Structure 1
């Protein structure tokens, strides 16, 4: 991948994350293609840019100020074609508290992105968000290799 494209992807995702933390979802949505797919960490699938924006706008008021604690780091970028890239990011959200929760929790996860270059701009065509903590531990009591 050309270094300029890799830097453009990193810059795009930094701006995208900044908009998310400020909850500027309409502008945040412009970083997705019109026909983008987004799968949330709970397995909800949105199939258009507008569904994605609307779904991400629908959060409890008490969560909005907590978004300032969210960070996202690009782990790797792999060229599929000169205009398609596979990107993995790691996100962290310390002190996240849902309404009615007894205590805040530190959340984290991974996002897999397919990004496409359209008219010189890198956009997200597909995203799959997966939490990596706070989930049931199904490996307790298992032996290796089973």
Structure 2
């Protein structure tokens, strides 16, 4: 693995760790200021403040005890400043809005990562759909 790939993986790990805190502000801080986020339901947010607002209800009700992981994250360096990552994730511990447990599920998040301020930052994550529920 190359140094940029190691640094990108570090940024992605920080993203997953921040998601697992269930703190919308901490999650938003792991992205660029001008991030454009699209979730699995197609809801979009632009900028850290909007990204944090988008996650208030899900973290409070749906994912407050959920754990997100990374199964696989192939990295394609587009340039010295831009990379594309297809991050495969499993999720355990989600709940319905009524509080009933959901089965584990998995999906793919496509993430554009950029190099700014001497580090790599996720800037455009898109989770187009769930791949499957897991038994």
TM-score, normalised to structure 2, is: 0.85
Deviations 1:107-127 (A, max 9, x none): 110000011000111111201
* Cα distance in 2 for residues equivalent to 1:101 and 1:21: 18
Contact 1:60/1:99 (<8 A) preserved: no
How many residue pairs match? The answer is 132
What is the TM-score with the length of structure 1 in the denominator?
0.80
Tell which deviates more after alignment, 77-86 or 123-132. Answer: 123-132
Where does the alignment leave 5 or more consecutive residues of structure 2 unmatched?
none
Q: 1:117 aligns with which of 115, 118, 126?
A: 115
1:60 to 1:124, Cα distance in 2 relative to 1, 3 A: closer
Q: Distance in 2 between matches of 1:50 and 1:27?
A: 11
Q: Bigger CA drift: 36-45 or 92-101?
A: 92-101
- The match for 2:6 is 7
- Structure with the bigger RCO (C-alpha within 8 Å, sep 6+) is 2
Where does residue 86 of structure 2 map in the other structure? Answer: 88
Cα distance, 1:79–1:27 mapped onto 2, change above 3 Å: same
How big is the alpha-carbon RMSD for the aligned residues of Structure 1 and Structure 2?
A: 2.0
Which has the larger share of strand? 1
